[in-house]
Amino acid sequence: QTDKPNLSATTTIVEVSKELPKVSMVNSCLKKLKFHIASFDVVVKERTTATAITEGTWRFEHTKAFFRDDIIPFVKALKKLFTSFVQCLIDEVTEVQNVFKKMKLAAEQHCEEKNKFHNKMEKVLQENDRLLTQVLSVEIMNVVVRENVKSACLNVDVCAHCVTIESKRNTMPSPASAPTFAELFEINNLKAQAQAKDTLILKLKEKLRSLNEQCDDLINKVNLKFAEVSDLNASLQEKVLVITALKEQLNKLKGKAVLTKAVSLNPIDPELLKVDVASLVPKLRKNRTAHTYYIRHT
């Protein structure tokens, strides 16, 4: 008789982890099943040997006891083992599915975090570029301001030196350098002439500005007229095309050529237009029908 399988020992609570189980419950169930089959094979071999048959132990009581003690428990244990095997297989497959689901969720979460980190890095790089551009602009501005300050300081120094020299010149007595009355009069005349020229230049500028405005107006009017003429030419061209098409259609309908140009008439001799009334019979002159017939056929 073989040992009965302990179901409580084979049923275990598996905690789903992020990696696959190292020990498979299906393998353990298969090992137990193999052990039970081997034990049953040993019992069958012992019961069916030639020695046992010749000794007369193979009888009904022996067969009944054999079924009761060995075969029936083996079948029950085999059923339990198969049930446990199926349950363990289902549990293991479920566990593997759960592990794969968790791995998939972890991969998706990792991808999402990676995208967030990538976006954050792009924002940081953009901010760094902006700050770098700002720093460079400030540095360039500082250099320009520094150069301007240097040039301004040089100009101030030069101006101060010039003022000092001018003040020294003004303080020095120089009666010979004083302008005469004639020179002052000539200077005033030159100033008046310059002012008159400036006034004339201003007037000429105003006149030129007004002429430019008038020219612009004339140019606009000419452009408008040119546009109108272009539209009229286009419409005339369309009408010419329509007339040409109508003439061609008319030629097709008539089946003969139609003159499109004016034909000069030959001069008619006035003598041909005269009516010879002398040849009429006097008695027919009062006959209206005969007279009308004569007019139509002459």
How many residues are recorded in the chain? 298
- The reported pLDDT for the residue numbered 149 is 78
Tokens of 25: 């419950």
- The reported pLDDT for the residue numbered 9 is 39
- The reported pLDDT for the residue numbered 51 is 52
Exposure string of 256-285, with b = 16+ CB inside 10 Å and e = fewer, is eeeeeeeeeeeeeeeeeeeeeeeeeeeeee
- The reported pLDDT for the residue numbered 115 is 86
Domain ranges of the chain: 7-129, 208-255
In order of 6, 70, 74, 89, the CA distances from 3 in angstroms are 9, 10, 9, 23
- The reported pLDDT for the residue numbered 11 is 39
- The reported pLDDT for the residue numbered 293 is 62
- The reported pLDDT for the residue numbered 121 is 87
Alpha helix segments (H runs only) across the chain: 7-10, 25-47, 50-54, 60-66, 72-171, 181-254, 270-273, 288-296
In order along its 298 residues, the chain shows pLDDT tens digits of 444 434 333 433 334 454 544 446 666 767 777 776 777 666 666 655 545 444 445 555 666 676 677 777 777 877 787 788 788 888 888 888 888 888 888 888 888 888 888 888 888 888 888 888 888 888 888 888 878 777 777 767 676 677 777 676 666 555 555 557 777 777 777 777 777 777 878 877 787 777 777 777 777 777 777 777 778 878 788 888 888 888 777 777 766 544 555 445 555 555 555 545 445 445 444 555 655 666 666 5
- The reported pLDDT for the residue numbered 36 is 67
- The reported pLDDT for the residue numbered 12 is 37
Tokens of 52: 């046992």
- The reported pLDDT for the residue numbered 68 is 72
- The reported pLDDT for the residue numbered 197 is 75
- The reported pLDDT for the residue numbered 251 is 75
- The reported pLDDT for the residue numbered 48 is 54
Contacts of residue 89, defined as CB under 8 A and 6 or more positions apart, other chains included, come to 26
Residues 22 and 98 sit within 8 Å (Cβ to Cβ): no
